[in-house]
């Protein structure tokens, strides 16, 4: 199985990871610049994974996404100057830390969270908006029925806050492909760091 395709840095085209890398190398981006771009894409994916953890329960990606998000606090404000993404980042960090079964504060804030998550998913994986979606409210209702919380479901805050909200959906095959993409990025960063170190040593020789 091949890694999941990822959106080009420069267009809406979906590329295999080696094509994605070649595009940056052909434009003569430095090793450190490419590493910086990879870290940004990893953060996008980590925010997506953590925001959907209550739905998909991908345990190995849960730990990875937590680590990426924690490490991002050391570099994001120096590295990313896009105020729109910073707003998304800060809002989703709060959502991830404080949400209760997929909802956050009230209906308006819950809707805003999933709007941001959908935007990140669309940016990384579905630039043509062709991904499948499912209804968060129905998912919560069905889960509550499954565990026996059948009374007054229409008045349950979790259901009311999420009612009518749709989110892009990943199947198991796609999650495996995303895991392979993450592994690819990890190897690529390691090789770029080695190459940068060799170049620096050569300059000092």
pLDDT tens by residue, 139-176: 877 777 776 655 554 446 777 888 899 999 888 889 89
What is the pLDDT, as a whole number, of residue 153? 47
Decide: 2 and 177 in contact? Cβ < 8 Å: yes
What is the pLDDT, as a whole number, of residue 52? 84
Quick one: pLDDT band at residue 60, thresholds 50, 70, 90? confident
What is the pLDDT, as a whole number, of residue 148? 64
Predicted confidence (pLDDT) per residue in 82-137, tens digit: 888 999 999 999 888 887 767 778 889 889 999 999 999 999 998 887 788 888 88
d(CA 103, CA 10): 34
Q: What percent of the chain has pLDDT over 70?
A: 92
Query: Which of 165, 70, 63 minimizes the C-alpha distance to 110?
Result: 165
Averaged pLDDT score across all residues of the chain: 87
d(CA 202, CA 52): 45
Decide: 104 and 98 in contact? Cβ < 8 Å: yes
What is the pLDDT, as a whole number, of residue 152? 52
Is 60 exceeded by the pLDDT of residue 31?
yes
pTM equals: 0.90
In residues, how long is the chain? 205
């Amino acid at each position: 199985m091949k890694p999941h395709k990822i959106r080009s840095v420069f267009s809406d085209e979906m590329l295999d990871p080696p094509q994605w890398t070649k595009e940056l190398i052909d434009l003569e981006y430095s090793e450190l610049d490419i590493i910086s771009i990879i870290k940004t894409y990893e953060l996008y994916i980590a925010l997506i994974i953590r925001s959907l953890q209550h739905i998909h329960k991908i345990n190995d990606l849960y730990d990875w996404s937590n680590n990426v998000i924690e490490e991002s606090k050391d570099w994001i404000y120096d590295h990313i100057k896009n105020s729109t993404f910073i707003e998304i980042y800060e809002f989703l960090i709060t959502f991830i830390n404080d949400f209760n079964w997929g909802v956050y504060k009230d209906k308006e804030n819950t809707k805003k969270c999933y709007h941001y998550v959908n935007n990140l998913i669309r940016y990384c994986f579905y630039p043509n908006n062709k991904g499948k979606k499912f209804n968060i409210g129905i998912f919560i209702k069905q889960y509550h029925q499954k565990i026996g919380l059948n009374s007054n479901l229409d008045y349950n805050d979790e259901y009311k806050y999420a009612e009518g909200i749709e989110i892009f959906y990943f199947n198991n095959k796609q999650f495996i492909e995303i895991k392979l993409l993450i592994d690819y990025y990890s190897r690529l960063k390691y090789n770029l760091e080695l190459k940068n170190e060799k170049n620096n040593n050569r300059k000092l020789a």
